[in-house]
Structure 1
Amino acid sequence: MGNISEFGRLVLLGVPLGNPGDASDRLRETLATADVVAAEDTRRLARLARDLEITIPGRIISYFEGNEERRTPDLVDALRSGAVVALATDGGMPSVSDPGYRLVRAALDAGVPVTAAPGPSAVTTALALSGLPTDRFCFEGFPPRSGGARRSRFRVLAAEERTLVFFEAPHRIAATLADLADAFGAGRPAAVCRELTKTYEEIVRRPLGELAAWAADGEPRGEITLVVAGADPAAAPRPSDEVLRAAVTERETAGSSRRDAITAVATEYGLRRRDLYAVIHPPTAPPA
């Protein structure tokens, strides 16, 4: 490997969520000077450049979920040859539920410097606007698409005490809210944040049960970020056996042994290990 100073650099661009007025000076400068701009949607990038009244002289290529595996090696080669490569998604920071992680990891593995021109984030913007606690939160990205996997995941998250942030597609938001209301309780506070920073921005703050009915009455459109209050530890009952079994199964699927999975779940929910073991391995009745 050559000296790192011989390499170019990868710049992750925090692209406006919708309002071009949120573009930073560093974003403008990087777009105007990068050798290569890899964009999730080249048409959106062209529209952004027009809105910002800048010209992008570098080579523009598409870089999205369907081609990122194929195009990453070429971009790494360009970086190793000294090129400055900028990565732009449709909005927000690359690699946060958007293309980018694969390229970041490949660049770091190749010894190439990676930096960012930070900018808007749908996660923290929605969190701040939700009116829900912001001191501790976790980002869950997009929930599973299939109903069964989604409901299973929500059962595991039902006891999470931190505020939860999700992304969701408009055509799935009604089903997702209904599943959340079932798993978390219809009264759990939440907020649907739609079209953040855009002309038709809308923040709907209601309990999950009411939000599920609202979404079912008419499919919300646009980009959606969902914020859900964490569980109240003082009010939260012991998780159901079904939730506990799902939590153990999830850890086993991720590679943990049954013993380690039971220990981790017992610790997470404040249970005695032997009590959880009895849930996972219920005693069999003696033969009559």
Structure 2
Amino acid sequence: MSESGKLILVPTPIGNLDDITLRAIVVLKQADMILAEDTRVSSKLMNHLSLEKKLTPHHKFNEHKSLGMVISKLNEGKTVVLISDAGTPGISDPGFLLVRACVENGIEVECLPGATALIPALAVSGLPTDRFVFEGFLPQKKGRQKRLKELSEETRTMVFYESPFRLAKALGQFAEFFGEDRNACVCRELSKFFEEIKRGTVTELQQYYTEHQPKGEIVIVLEGRPKKEKDQ
């Protein structure tokens, strides 16, 4: 058997396609196989970069079945690149199962630095950035209230992803579990033409987004519980 290949995770722009890195372009050009979360979405990036590359679907509905095929290619010495629709693979996107399989099979894994929505949102929020916790998407139904109750004791800044259709409801739940005056920042469509950043208390933000139905990708940055409040 030839020497094992390498899996490379390549972050892709979260909005503005020009945010792709020069190194990412080189890696995409040299890849033997490119796995894409949605080939239709990734084709737009390939066209923007003038890259003629075949894209192989790899998403949450088929990643279990495709693991064997990908590991086989890697064992043949191939360089396989994994990209998601936007951001860094494995962060609220497919990628974990494949990385774990590579680790278990002794296959090298590399991740390029690059785009992700949570860091820009945290940086512009105006909330403490020295310590934070990334929660991704909260459970939609089962376990949601339990998780919110657990997080009510969290003193670090919290970062969430949320659907625009559930944003106002989520902010209302934050007011219920964390307090109406808890500060937050809602970042919508980061790096895109209609980027919007709103800061205020969760109650103020809930009222705003109840009156203004949002669209696009949403990141919520939430202030942690004040330590003086926790110590009382």
SS in 1 for 2:176: helix
Q: Does 1:214 align with 2:208?
A: yes
2:50 maps to which of 49, 53, 63: 53
Q: Deviations over 1:156-177 (max 9, x none)?
A: 1011110000111111111111
State the 4+ residue runs in structure 1 displaced beyond 4 angstroms: none
1:229 aligned residue = 223
Distance 2:91 2:20 in 1: 18
Distance 2:110 2:187 in 1: 29
1:119 aligned residue = 114
Distance 2:230 2:203 in 1: 18
Q: Does 1:180 align with 2:174?
A: yes
Q: Does 1:36 align with 2:26?
A: no
Distance 1:85 1:43 in 2: 19
| Pairing of 1:168-207 with structure 2 (within 5 A) | 168-207=162-201
Structure 1: stretches of 5+ with no match in the other structure: 239-288
- State the shift of 1:236 in Å: 3.3
Please give the TM-score of this superposition, normalised by the length of structure 1.
0.78
Q: Does 1:149 align with 2:143?
A: yes
- State the shift of 1:62 in Å: 0.8
1:274 aligned residue = none
- State the shift of 1:237 in Å: 6.7
- Larger proportion of helix: 1
SS in 1 for 2:55: strand
SS in 2 for 1:236: helix
The structure whose Rg is larger is 1
- What residue identity is the alignment partner of 1:195? E
Distance 1:180 1:216 in 2: 14
| Pairing of 1:13-32 with structure 2 (within 5 A) | 13-32=10-29
- State the shift of 1:151 in Å: 2.2
Q: How many corresponding residue pairs?
A: 232
Q: Is the 8 A contact 1:12 1:118 kept in 2?
A: no
Counterparts in 2 of 1:202 and 1:183: CA distance versus 1, 3 Å:
same
Q: Which has the higher contact order (CA 8 A, sep 6+)?
A: 2
Distance 1:236 1:217 in 2: 33
2:82 maps to which of 84, 87, 102: 87
Structure 2: stretches of 5+ with no match in the other structure: none
Q: Is the 8 A contact 1:192 1:225 kept in 2?
A: yes
Please give the TM-score of this superposition, normalised by the length of structure 2.
0.96
SS in 2 for 1:138: strand
